Amino acid sequence: MLFSLGVPHTPIVVPPEVFPECDAALQSYGVGRYNYCNMILFADKEIGRTIDTLKQNNLWSNTVIIFSTDNGGRPNTTSIGNYVWDGFDSNLPLRGQKASPWEAGTRGIGFINCGYLEQYGIGGTVNNKLYHVVDWYKSIIYGIAGINYNDPSLGVIDSMNIWQSVLNEDVLSPRNEWVYSSNFGAAPTGIRQNEGN
């Protein structure tokens, strides 16, 4: 199952439910930060309800939740089409922003939560190994589901099975380089190698 929330993302609007915890953001930072706060708490509540449903239906021990971002935020005021982003994101302590080659534009946070991992005893650990979001493709198919899937019509797939390096602190990530680009279709601006291993 893919459960993709559209929040928090542009346009920044109040979700169907608002939370009193965000009132201070409205007073201190304005409506943009208030809406953003409500979007975050709405996403948190929806994910919590999904997990509760999985547990109630005895599916939790067979579930892997991968929570990931695609890029950093935009801390500066920016026009995107007819929408003006008011620049209330923060990527500190990382340099840069979305669509930049710096880490704040390319380094994403994420976490894994599931009953499936309890058997490995790795809850609460931090992993700083080098991965790319495309690596989840092969990791889910080969590593988690254990399916030996090969479709030649897909051509070469730039995905690596990182699952064993997620489960085991001593196993290096198979990904040892990363090509940075300043924007979609632009020439590479740098290569990162052998970090996080």
**pLDDT tens across 83-97, in order?**
556 666 777 788 877
Number of domains in the chain: 1
pLDDT at 177: 85
User: What count of other Cβ atoms lies within 10 Å of the Cβ of residue 196?
Assistant: 15
Identify the residue with better confidence: 154 or 47. 47
> Which structural domain, as residue segments, surrounds residue 196?
127-197
Residue 191 lies in a domain: yes
Residue 131 lies in a domain: yes
Tell me the average pLDDT across 124-147.
88
Tell me the average pLDDT across 102-129.
79
pLDDT at 8: 76
pLDDT at 41: 93
Amino acid identity for residue 8 in this structure: P
Residue 182 lies in a domain: yes
Residue 188 lies in a domain: yes
Residue carrying the six token digits 């493709």? 137
Residue 179 lies in a domain: yes
Residue 29 lies in a domain: no
d(CA 101, CA 109): 16
Given a cut of 90, is residue 163 above it in pLDDT?
Answer: yes
> Confidence band (pLDDT; 50, 70, 90) for 160?
very high
User: pTM for this one?
Assistant: 0.77
CA atoms within 13 A on the CB side of 168: 10
> Confidence band (pLDDT; 50, 70, 90) for 103?
confident
Residue carrying the six token digits 């990791």? 139
Q: Which of 167, 195, 168, 191 is nearest to 178 (CA)?
A: 191
Percent of the chain residues past pLDDT 70, beyond the cut: 88
Residue 165 lies in a domain: yes
d(CA 20, CA 14): 13
Amino acid identity for residue 148 in this structure: N
